[in-house]
Every structure is written in C-alpha cells, then in structure tokens.
Structure 1
Amino acid sequence: MVAAVGRIWRDGRRVERAAYVVGAVLFAGGLANAVVLLASGGTWLGPVSLRKAVTFGLSFGLTLATVAWATSYLTVRGRTVLLGAFLLACVTEVALVTMQAWRGVPSHFNFETGFDAAVSMTLAAGGGVIVLTGLGFTVAAFLSPGAMAPSQRLAVRFGLLVLMVALATGAVMIARGVGEARGGDPQLAYTTAGALKPLHAVAMHAILVLPGLAWLLRFTGLAERQRLRLVWLAVVADAVLTAVIGIEAFTGIPPFSAPAVYTGLSAVALAVLAGTVIFALFSALRGKESPDYFRASNP
C-alpha cells in the first residue's frame, strides 16, 4: 500500500503535485490556526471567530488534494486548466477568510467598508469558480471516466455528485446571506446561511471518503465484484446521510433536536459508512494490492 501511495506522487502531473503540496500547506495552516485558537482561549462561535480560518484551511486543504487525486483518473481535455483554476480558487478562499479572521472582521456578507465589500465579493466569485470547475469534473466523470475498476468509477462519480451538492449548498448560503446583508440585516444573513452549514460540511467530503474506500479495497484481496458491492453499500449510506441532513437543513430542524426517525436514519447511515471504511482499512493493512489495479491515466 505504501508503494501505491508513492506511485500516486510519481505518476502525477505537475499540476497534481502542486495541488498535493498546496493542499498540505492549507491543511497545515488550518492546524496552526487551531493551535492559536486553543492557546488563546478565543471563542469558537460567531462570524469573527478564528474557527473560520481553521475550518476553511482544513476543509479546502483536504478537498483540493482529494479532487486532484480522484480526477487524475479522468481523460478530459483541459483538465490541467480546470484543476489549476480550482487550486487558485481554493487558495484565494482560504487566504481571504484567514486574513479577515485575523483582522477580527467577518469574511462573508461584510459590506461595512469598500475593502471588506471587495473581499466578500471576491469570496463569492471564488465560490463560483469552484462550482464551475467542480461541474466540469463531474461531467467528465460520466463522459470520460478513464481506465478505472467499476468500484473506483462508481466512487469517483458519486463522490463528485455529492461534492456538487455541497458546492450548490454553499452557493445558496452565499445568495441568501448577501440578500439579507444588502437588506441591512447582517446578523440575519449569518443566521440564515448558517442553517445550511451541516449539509455543506457533510456533503463536502464524500469525494474523500468514497474514492478513498474504493482505493483501500484494492488491497483487501477481495474480488472486484465484492469490492463493488461494498462501495455500493457505502454510496447508499452516504446518500441517506446527505438526504437526511439536507432535509433538516432546508426545513430548519437543528441536527441535535431532530425527530427520532431522522436521528435514527443518520446514525445507521453513518455507522454503515464508518463500518465499510474501517473494514477496508484493517483488511488493506493485512492484504496486498489487487492485480486489477488501474493507474491514473493522467491525461
């Protein structure tokens, strides 16, 4: 398995390696801000909390590296341009959010000064670039999937679809928030947009979990047919979890105050998803790489 990880780096194109390095830097920045926040005893709540620098750094760092790896299987023209644009947008989002957090002012829906308004609109534009590049990758996953085992192809396709749910949710959050802020009620903007955060967060990382699961299953010694079944199980579980969180978010139900049926569905889906990943991880540590391993085509 270690050799396969090294192969991901060696076989990667320049833009992919750049994305891995930048993703690691963004993630490390998020960790550094977490240390500062813990050491300073600052609040984890509110639009000016350093928490935003933490979550943006960690989340965008993971997402950038994961998208670079997962889409390396695709055979689509212009992928270097798409990934490069995605990389630059991720860096812009994290840098601006971190800057505003350290200045002690809100990063989003902040039109108090000309500079703050420019930052808010730049963040919105960066989000638009991320949505468009994500859409390009998702379409390519269905039209030009490249040489992948069926289990990996399913994981990449569904992971990108759920990523688009996260990005679309983020776009709705921004649209709602900007509307309320422009209407003179910035506090309502944060409250309205914040209600969709659980869906945005849960859907964001399916692109990490599902392709990662399919990749781990290659080292379990299981036949491809068995691996495909396990990936399907994880896909269904992730779909149920995302759907339940989405219903709660758009109907205004707090996740920790949801009806028992929603809580039960979420718990079961999360348990199944975690169970498949844990099984794959421990089995992979004892197994060896499947002979039907498909390298990324890196077009």
Structure 2
Amino acid sequence: MTTTIPQTRVRPVERIAYGVAAVLFLSGLVHLAVLLVSGTTWEGPVSYRKATTFGLSFGLTLATLAWATSFLRMPSRARAVLLGAFTAVSVVEVALVTLQVWRGVPSHFNFETGFDTLVSMTLALGGAVIIVTVLGFTVAALRTTSGLAPSMLLALRCGLVVLVGALVVGALMIADGVTLSRGGDPQLAYTTAGALKPVHAVAMHGILVLPALAWLLRFTPWPERRRTRVVQAAAVAYALAVAGTWVLFG
C-alpha cells in the first residue's frame, strides 16, 4: 500500500510568509534593475548586488521553507512560532542590508560607527535566529514517522539537513569576517567570507530541489519504492555537488 502525501491547506502563517517572500523577491528584482541601469560595479561590499542577492535569496528561501514544511505534521503553535520567526528575521536581514547599500557603506563586518556596529551585530544575531528556526523544522522532520510518502519525507529530511549545513557555512563566514574586521583588516574579512559564498549558495537550495523532485514524482506511474530510490540518488548527487563546490571554492 502506497503512502500518499496529504493535501494541506494554506495556513495563516504560511499565507503571510508567501506574501512577505513575494515582496522580498520583488525588492531583489528592483535592485537588480537599479544595478543594471546605474552601470555601477557588481563587485564590492557596497554594490547594489548585495541588495539584489539578499532580496532574491531570502524571498526564494522563505517561500520554499513555508511550502516544504507545510507537509510536516507538527503542533500548530510550534509551526507558527518557527515560520513566523523566520519570516520576521528575513525582513530584518534584507531591510538592513538594503539600507546600508543605499547609505553607501558595508552592511557586514562594519564597525566604523555605533550605528554600523548595531547593524552588523543585528545581522549576525539574525543569522543565529535563522539557524534555530531551521533546526526546529529539521528536528520535526526527523521525528516524523507517518503521514508522509517515504520519498517526500526523505526529501524533506535531506533538504533541511543540507540547509542547516548552508547556515553553518554562513556562520563560519560571519565569525571569520568579524574576527578579521575587529583585527583591523576589513578588506581581508570581505575576501575571506566571500570565498565561501558558492558553497553557501549551493547548499541553501537543497530544501527546494529535493522536495520539489519528490512532489513531481507523485505524477509519475512509478511505485513509491522507485520514487524513493530516485530521491535517494538525487540527495547523494546534491551532497556531492555541495562537497565539490567546497573543494573548488572553499
């Protein structure tokens, strides 16, 4: 007997998350247009690129997390707290980075003034909140044993674990950058942190790729056992892609 993925209604906290994600993604697109029209550089800590990538990445990640975790069976209050916190911190992160871009100063590893220090530390604290919320969803996925097709459950577990890995890489980037910047070499801080960006970027989106694959496999005539094997192969391939990116750019 094949276990099916239950149909889930869009909960209020998920509806809010989708709306916020759309706004953040739109912000990224607007800043991409500003970057192209202005003709300014793509590189550097004060480029419009940062507002673009943060808006697009947080918008996509927030929408993905809201969708993927909607399949998990967990207490409504816990879901609302975790997704609500992730939504709020996504807004804060994108808003502060965008603010600093328009001010023409770096958003990260910037301790030149009291306000810049507050922004940098708030961004770091926001990263910690993101890790806690994703860990909460990961624990819920690992504790889930029924109500989901094995292929989707595997995809959710692997996607969330890879996402935790991406956040750990992000934490390492921040820790190294803060240490170097506090030591008097902010330029080296930006260069060192930037070296891990490719790994961070690739690992961030496993939570989209793997559950989306499992969801699409529902429309095939294949039995659940074969779908699960396909997801297993995809998970291994994705892990190898992350590892390969680390070897090349880490």
TM-score (norm 1): 0.79
* Residues 146 and 26 (structure 1), Cα distance of their counterparts in 2 relative to 1, 3 Å cut: farther
Equivalence map 1:243-282=2 (5 Å): 243-250=243-250
CA contact (8 A) 1:110 1:117 kept: yes
Aligned partner of residue 74 in structure 1, secondary structure: coil
Deviation (angstroms), 1:146: 5.2
Equivalence map 1:217-236=2 (5 Å): 217-236=217-236
* Residues 138 and 34 (structure 1), Cα distance of their counterparts in 2 relative to 1, 3 Å cut: same
Deviates more, 1:75-84 or 1:113-122: 75-84
CA–CA separation in structure 1 for the residues paired with 2:152 and 2:128: 28
* Residues 130 and 146 (structure 1), Cα distance of their counterparts in 2 relative to 1, 3 Å cut: farther
Deviation (angstroms), 1:145: 5.4
2:56 alignment counterpart: 58
CA–CA separation in structure 2 for the residues paired with 1:146 and 1:22: 31
1:169 alignment counterpart: 169
CA–CA separation in structure 2 for the residues paired with 1:162 and 1:86: 17
Residue among 12, 22, 25 paired with 2:23 = 25
1:102 alignment counterpart: 102
CA–CA separation in structure 2 for the residues paired with 1:98 and 1:218: 40
Aligned partner of residue 187 in structure 2, secondary structure: helix
User: In the TM superposition, what whole-angstrom CA distance separates every residue of 1:196-248 from its partner, at most 9, and x where no partner exists?
Assistant: 11110000000011101111111123222221121112111101111111233
The count of residues paired between Structure 1 and Structure 2 equals: 242
CA contact (8 A) 1:73 1:145 kept: no
CA–CA separation in structure 1 for the residues paired with 2:157 and 2:109: 33
Deviation (angstroms), 1:74: 1.7
Gaps of 5+ in 1: 1-6, 251-299
Deviation (angstroms), 1:123: 0.2
2:131 alignment counterpart: 131
Deviation (angstroms), 1:162: 0.4
* Residues 103 and 145 (structure 1), Cα distance of their counterparts in 2 relative to 1, 3 Å cut: farther
User: In the TM superposition, what whole-angstrom CA distance separates every residue of 1:245-275 from its partner, at most 9, and x where no partner exists?
Assistant: 123343xxxxxxxxxxxxxxxxxxxxxxxxx
User: In the TM superposition, what whole-angstrom CA distance separates every residue of 1:162-205 from its partner, at most 9, and x where no partner exists?
Assistant: 00011000000000000001111100110111111111000000
1:187 alignment counterpart: 187
CA–CA separation in structure 2 for the residues paired with 1:248 and 1:165: 17
CA contact (8 A) 1:74 1:146 kept: no
User: In the TM superposition, what whole-angstrom CA distance separates every residue of 1:40-67 from its partner, at most 9, and x where no partner exists?
Assistant: 1111001000001111111110100111
1:42 alignment counterpart: 40
Equivalence map 1:85-124=2 (5 Å): 85-124=85-124
CA–CA separation in structure 1 for the residues paired with 2:143 and 2:162: 17
1:68 alignment counterpart: 66
CA–CA separation in structure 2 for the residues paired with 1:73 and 1:214: 12
Deviation (angstroms), 1:135: 0.8
Residue among 13, 16, 27 paired with 2:14 = 16
2:152 alignment counterpart: 152
TM-score (norm 2): 0.94
* Residues 83 and 39 (structure 1), Cα distance of their counterparts in 2 relative to 1, 3 Å cut: same
Deviates more, 1:142-151 or 1:16-25: 142-151
Deviation (angstroms), 1:144: 2.6
Gaps of 5+ in 2: 1-6
Cα root mean square deviation, aligned: 1.2
